[in-house]
Amino acid sequence: MRPTYKRLSTVTASLVLLLGTAACQQQTEQPTEGTSDQPGAGVEVTPAYSVLEEKFQTEIVNMALEELGYDVTPPKELEYATLHTDLANGGIHFTTVHWEKLHSDFYTNSGGDEKLERMGVFVDNVLQGYSVDKATAEENNITNLEDLKDPEIAKVFDTDGNGKANLTGCNPGWGCELVIEHHLDEYGLRDTVEHDQGQYFALMADTITRHEQGEPILYYTWTPLWVGGVLQAGKDVNWLEVPYTSLPEAQGEVSEETTTANINGEDVNLGFAVDQMRILANQQFVDEHAAAAKLFEVIQVSRPDISAQNQKMRNGEDSPEDIMSHAEAWVEENRDQFDQWVSTAREAGQQQAQK
């Protein structure tokens, strides 16, 4: 037996059509709650960092962007100079690891204020400088980088047999490379000190091994980073002062105050500007997306938190999954503040949509 179908009357069909049309019009005219809560919906965002130790803080910002509706693509890992250029050209949209003073040359060479926007203070009071193991420093009365002008003292840190001190330094192309090279010239250290360059973390692994074997070490480092947890200032190593402040011209006007940090209650002239890490974004992107721009202005991660996470990586928790787990745990531990940042950014996006 064939099935039978009931046909709607013309009047009924017309009524259904009319009501359906009216309902559609109402839905179109009133923005949905999802739209107002998700100002970044449909917008793709690509972040970047330079070394794996910077992925943690990048993922924290990514999670906030995702709560705002942005589609965050996997971060790119780029050398700092390339990162700044790609950012200016729109190939990426932001980075959390722009050091305001140290990376000033990269910033200017990539278009500066016309193409880039420095936003907020993401990590405050970040330090760089030279360190030696405490035992060697005390035995030879080494307190200042200038002490290495003495060939006999420099020879203590010689690891390749040429009579010069081997300074574990920066990757070629990093901002710190320019400062170290400047210091070697400025302080007259070329005859007694050589700058060992390559992959920084591989070089530091060798440096730490030498320290564990009781050998003298001389190296460059920065905070936040796990190195400070393995070689603790005041316990295992001492920071070295510099004879006076001198930095490459690209870093602008500097004074002794600019390069002096309070370490364990004492003022120490480290020779590098006490800096701040800022979120650096593509100018056009933040002009067009107020929610992301506001987030970049307000979100922060502390220096100790980054160093603690880096120490977990040093201890073997260094896979992408581990790092994401660290970021997720950080967000949960700081949920109230994190939600406030997201809420503030969402309001900025809503205000932009109403204009």
- In tens, the pLDDT along 104-116 reads 999 999 999 999 9
The neighbour count for residue 290, using CB atoms within 10 Å, is 19
* Contact criterion met (CB below 8 Å) for 114 and 130: no
CA torsion 174-180-182-187 (nearest 10°) is 180
Above 60 in pLDDT, residue 17? no
* Contact criterion met (CB below 8 Å) for 119 and 84: no
**Residue 264 — very low, low, confident or very high, per pLDDT cuts 50/70/90?**
confident
Residue 35, pLDDT score: 57
* Percentage with pLDDT > 70 across the chain: 90
**Residue 13 — very low, low, confident or very high, per pLDDT cuts 50/70/90?**
very low
Taking the C-alpha atoms of residue 61 and residue 240, their distance in angstroms, rounded to an integer, is 34
Per-residue pLDDT averaged across 153-167, rounded? 98
List, for residues 233-250, the tens digit of each pLDDT value.
Answer: 999 999 999 999 999 988
Residue 253, pLDDT score: 85
Residue 24, pLDDT score: 40
Tokens standing for residue 346: 């969402």
**Residue 139 — very low, low, confident or very high, per pLDDT cuts 50/70/90?**
very high
Above 70 in pLDDT, residue 18? no
Using alpha carbons only, give the angle 22, 23, 27 rounded to the nearest 5 degrees.
120
Residue 168, pLDDT score: 98
Above 80 in pLDDT, residue 7? no
CA torsion 163-164-170-174 (nearest 10°) is -130
All domains of the chain in start order, with CATH: 41-121+277-354 (3.40.190.10), 126-275 (3.40.190.100)
Residue 351, pLDDT score: 92
- Residues 6 or more apart whose Cβ sits within 8 Å of residue 150: 192
Residue 292, pLDDT score: 98
Residue 42, pLDDT score: 95
List, for residues 23-53, the tens digit of each pLDDT value.
Answer: 444 333 333 333 579 999 999 999 999 999 9
Higher-pLDDT residue of 151, 16: 151
Residue 6, pLDDT score: 33
Residue 5, pLDDT score: 32
**Of 37, 103, 58, which is closest to residue 275 (Cα–Cα)?**
103
Residue 145, pLDDT score: 98
Reply yes or no: is the peptide bond before residue 224 cis, omega within 30 of 0.
Answer: yes
Average pLDDT, rounded, for the chain: 91
